[in-house]
Amino acid sequence: MVTATEMIVLNLTKIGESSVVLHTISREWGRRGFLVNVGKKTSMSLFLPMNVLEAEIIENPKSSLWRATKISAKHPLHGVRASVAKNSMTMFMSEVLYRAVREDAHEEGLFEWCEKSILTLDALQSDFANYHLRFLLEFAVALGFSPTVDALRPFAGEHLSTLSQFVESSFAESMLIPLTGELRNEIAEILLRYLSYHCESSIDVRSLKVLRELFG
């Protein structure tokens, strides 16, 4: 059986010289890996973090690892790929999703939310240093949690007032909340602890270090 689908890239695992497993989120299957043949003519830029792809999935009743073929980019993401800072944001976003969403988990509406998130980042012209913080809050909502001020209080420490600003602000307002680099990093770590608690697994995001250097 062959199914046309759209999927968002989270991670990539090389399998020998001519294959990779593409870890993705899709509308039909949620978080799932697909086997992809690659060669000298394959554009590996297709598989950059948070790329939105169109593909055909060949289901195999004898294996849980299905094959993805005829892969192409749905959106060019010129705004993201032309910016070191935005590319680093996509690394962070994809790593959070990869570590927080379990294999074969299927959260209703998650694909649509992820697609909206990457397109929003792509379109922002300036003032996006706080974007990953807003992303974490909205991700919690997409997973069905309720990151209210009271819910965040046990994790907030001395930063409850800043977190309250994010919770109570519109998207545009939250992009303009003035933060030092140190405070931005601490808020990100608080939100990751909140997500880890509710996902019942540690979300250790190595790419946060890159954002610290860029926006610190």
Cα maximum dimension of the chain: 55
187 pLDDT band, cuts 50/70/90, is very high
Among residues of the chain, what percentage have pLDDT more than 70? 100
CB 30 within 8 A of CB 106: yes
57 pLDDT band, cuts 50/70/90, is very high
Across residues 186-195, what is the average pLDDT?
96
**DSSP 8-state assignment for residue 200:** T
> Facing residues of 32 across strands?
24
105 pLDDT band, cuts 50/70/90, is confident
216 pLDDT band, cuts 50/70/90, is low
CB 183 within 8 A of CB 80: no
Task: Check residue 120 and give its pLDDT.
Answer: 98
- What is the phi/psi pair of residue 73, to 5°? -80, 130
Average pLDDT, the chain: 94
CB 22 within 8 A of CB 36: yes
CB 90 within 8 A of CB 49: yes
Task: Check residue 118 and give its pLDDT.
Answer: 98
Task: Check residue 123 and give its pLDDT.
Answer: 97
Across residues 23-39, what is the average pLDDT?
95
Task: Check residue 19 and give its pLDDT.
Answer: 94
pLDDT digits (tens, 9 = 90+) for 191-212: 999 999 999 888 989 888 888 7
